[in-house]
Chain A
Amino acid sequence: MKRKWFSVLDLAVLLTVLALSLGGFLWLRTRERAESVSVFCGDECVFTLAFEDVEEPVSHTLQTERGTLTLLIEKDGVCVTDAACPDGVCARTGKIARAGESIVCAPLGVVVVLSGDGTVDGVTG
């Protein structure tokens, strides 16, 4: 028996993956407030900072193999102020503030991610 290209079970698998991803997106939306910022360069996490430790806006410059990228971290969000990439997409993303949001600089291979602590906004304990 030759294996089919696309079977009924495949459709079930596809729908399950889509449902899992969509569920993940919705779950992230419930964690409005970002608790910390993490910066990835290539495959490695090179920088992490909790927003509660930010009193005054801090500027952080990253040296990557392909150039530098400067972040401005404020009490309520992060933006890329300057980057050595040719497209400038990361700087144009603007400020991100909610858990699950990210800024991607593809040419430099840098990704800035905001994460929450898992609690829903307003629920502290």
Chain B
Amino acid sequence: MKTNVKKLTRLALLCAAAIALSAFEGLFTPLLPPGAKAGLSNVVVMLAASTMGWLPTLTVVLFKAVFALLSRGAVSAAFSALGGLCSAILLLFLFRYGKLLGVFGISLLGAFTHSAAQLLLSYALYGAAIFAYAPVFLLLSVPSGLITAAALRATLALSSRRQHQGKERKI
């Protein structure tokens, strides 16, 4: 019971963090359409995928989509949900089975999948015009993946120091 409460608290914190980061991202008005975001809130999805498993990770993704729905409308929510789900599933899979990949590689693949899924949705909604954007959009997953990986590392280092373990958590 006690561990359940602990888990639930941690999940609630992660959801709150994801929403806060999404809102923070929203301040930088879209530099790229449609629904392209720097992916700061992906840090939280990475954290959940690497340390907490399927259900918490998908819950965080769902929370992000609901936040997008309430703050930016249905189209944004669809972009958030599709990009989030595709990358989260890949992240979960890679953290489990991608033994040869480093944190950066997983982060990059997650960001790339996020972008690619959103591009496909843009194509379905708006047609081929969107392909003029594809290269920039996909290239952005490199800095996005780097930032996410660095933030994840920093977060894990911090949390393990808090727990007085003196070493980083295994992910």
Contacts and interface: CB of A to CB of B under 8 A. Distances in A.
A9 B72 CA distance: 37
A38 B105 contact: no
Interface residues of A, number: 46
Contact of A17 (B141, B170, B171): B141
B102 A4 contact: yes
A5 B102 contact: yes
A7 B136 CA distance: 25
Interface string A85-108: 000000000000001111010111
Nearest to B149: A5
B33 A42 contact: yes
B168 A43 contact: no
A118 interface: yes
A3 B128 contact: no
B103 A13 contact: no
A58 interface: no
B3 interface: no
Contacts of A114: 132
B31 interface: yes
B108 to A, nearest CB: 6
B100 A40 contact: no
5 contacts: A5-B103, A7-B102, A13-B105, A43-B75, A43-B76
Interface string B9-35: 000000000000000000011111111
Contacts of A36: 129
A25 B136 CA distance: 8
